[in-house]
Amino acid sequence: GKIVGGVLIGDLSPQTAFKQLMREQRVVADQKEVLLEPSVDLDELAPTQEQ
């Protein structure tokens, strides 16, 4: 449920947001729609879940 890597083709602008999600090890499995938006807004994602 966490992002561990990826490949961006074309527009590389979301890379900062994805890198932050990887560093924070945030669980985002149930938020696919938000992650696939053209510009990822981390404020729209659910808060970090403790494990």
Give the per-residue pLDDT at 34.
84
**Rounded CA gap, 25 and 9, in Å?**
23
Nearest to 14 by CA among 27, 25, 3: 3
Give the per-residue pLDDT at 48.
58
Contacts of 42 (CB under 8 A, 6+ apart): 17, 20, 21
* 11 vs 46 pLDDT, higher one: 11
pLDDT single digits (tens) 6-42: 998 998 888 998 999 999 999 998 888 888 887 877 8
